[in-house]
Amino acid sequence: MKHPASAALAPILVAAVFSLFTACVKKNAQTNSSAGTSIGVFIPGVMSGSPVYEMLVEGVRAAVNRHNGAQGAAAPVELTVIEGGYNQAEWETKLTAMTASFSYDLIVSSNPSLPDIVSHISDRFPDQHFLLLDGRLEGNPRVYTLRYNQREQSYMAGYMAALISEAAGPAPARRVGLVAAQEYPVMNNVILPGFLEGARGVNGGYTVDFRIVGNWYDAAKAGELAADMIQGGVQVLLCIAGGANEGVIHAAAEGGARVIWFDTNGYGIRPGIVAGSSVLYQDKAAYTQMLRYLEGTLPFGTAETLGLSEGYVDFIQDDPVYIETVAPELRERQASMIERIRSGALALPL
């Protein structure tokens, strides 16, 4: 008679051996043809409340569906999405496990911290290919990266924040706000300085009240920070805190302040309170680069930076809620500044 524990374990073992076997078969098949191509998307965080990740999956999925539609059902590309969760200390282990499963021909992700993590993994798994957005790594022959010109993106946010602050009262505090989830090199070296630079484009006297939530989900904490900033005279706040942004919106609505949204069109989130949307088109980037991969033309080893003139960064000006919320003369000044970036008269390289 079989031991009961081993009877219970047997199916698990069989499943484990089988999945290892199919993973190896899949991998081997892939090297010879595009049949059985498997894409894994790693989300460094959670999707809900973070448009950069929602756009990533949307773009990858659209490219896979288009490819599968064109190829017929014979050899569909498979797509798996895995969330890494909010504990950043676990991301490398989780991504290593994903790589070590040998299940994915390509792993797609998005985050400025991913290039470092992937460099470590790539040393141990040199055959694994990666497509990384919102990050930069050049020269690894298995890694392609694309980042956005976030100096342009944050400049446009800062310019509008200062325009609204100037118009808000007779004695503006000349202080705009930035509520960020955490400090990281792109935040400290690109986004915060770009936001300040934009505000100073309106008036050189501006400073930034910069506050840190400590994570990407605590809306109550973000709300407390924002309320304190508004109390101190800040009239317009940029928020880059994922799910915690909700708290900033709430505090602004209570305190008569305005919010500049980042990454996606946020006017509809709280009409009248969100007075600017400085966006990046990560869905378009994910779609375009995934199609290049599926067509075999993604230039691994290279790193691209795309901004306003390439159509990957913008400030949404044609939304009816924006037109209703922001006075015409401010919108005109914002529009002419954007035109100066687009024409190259105002150069904001990274």
Residues that bind ligand RBF in the complex, under the rule CB under 6 A: 44-45, 50, 52, 88, 111-113, 134, 184, 186, 216, 240, 242, 262-263
Look at residues 137, 115, 111 and name the one whose alpha carbon lies nearest to residue 52. Answer: 111
H or E segment and range at residue 304:
strand 303-306
- Contact residues for 149 (Cβ-Cβ < 8 A; gap 6+): 305, 306, 307, 308, 312, 313, 348, 349, 350
Residue 149 DSSP one-character state: -
Minimum distance from residue 137 beta carbon to ligand RBF (Å): 14
**In 3-state terms, what secondary structure has residue 170?**
coil
Q: Which is nearer to ligand RBF, 106 or 239 (CB)?
A: 239
Minimum distance from residue 60 beta carbon to ligand RBF (Å): 17
Q: Which is nearer to ligand RBF, 152 or 209 (CB)?
A: 152
Q: Which is nearer to ligand RBF, 38 or 155 (CB)?
A: 155
User: What single letter denotes the amino acid at residue 214?
Assistant: G
Minimum distance from residue 296 beta carbon to ligand RBF (Å): 28
- Contact residues for 174 (Cβ-Cβ < 8 A; gap 6+): 162, 165, 203, 205, 206, 207
- Give the integer Cα–Cα distance in Å for 143 and 161: 37
Minimum distance from residue 99 beta carbon to ligand RBF (Å): 19
- Give the integer Cα–Cα distance in Å for 43 and 57: 9
Strand partners, 278: 262, 315
H or E segment and range at residue 147:
strand 143-148
Minimum distance from residue 16 beta carbon to ligand RBF (Å): 32
Q: Which is nearer to ligand RBF, 184 or 300 (CB)?
A: 184
Q: Which is nearer to ligand RBF, 45 or 198 (CB)?
A: 45
Q: Which is nearer to ligand RBF, 262 or 281 (CB)?
A: 262
Q: Which is nearer to ligand RBF, 71 or 265 (CB)?
A: 265
Minimum distance from residue 70 beta carbon to ligand RBF (Å): 32
Q: Which is nearer to ligand RBF, 30 or 88 (CB)?
A: 88
Name the residue with the smallest CB distance to ligand RBF. 45
Q: Which is nearer to ligand RBF, 113 or 288 (CB)?
A: 113
Q: Beta 143-148 vs 303-306: how paired, if at all?
A: parallel
**What single string gives the DSSP state of each residue in 198-265?**
HHHHH-TT-EEEEEE-SSSS-HHHHHHHHHHHHHTT--EEEEE-GGGHHHHHHHHHHHT-EEEEEES-
Q: How crowded is residue 339: how many other Cβ atoms within 10 Å of its Cβ?
A: 11
Minimum distance from residue 282 beta carbon to ligand RBF (Å): 8
Q: Which is nearer to ligand RBF, 196 or 330 (CB)?
A: 196
Minimum distance from residue 123 beta carbon to ligand RBF (Å): 21
**In 3-state terms, what secondary structure has residue 119?**
helix
- Give the integer Cα–Cα distance in Å for 338 and 175: 22
- Contact residues for 157 (Cβ-Cβ < 8 A; gap 6+): 194, 195, 198, 238, 260, 262, 276, 278, 315
Strand partners, 143: 130
Minimum distance from residue 139 beta carbon to ligand RBF (Å): 21
Minimum distance from residue 191 beta carbon to ligand RBF (Å): 7
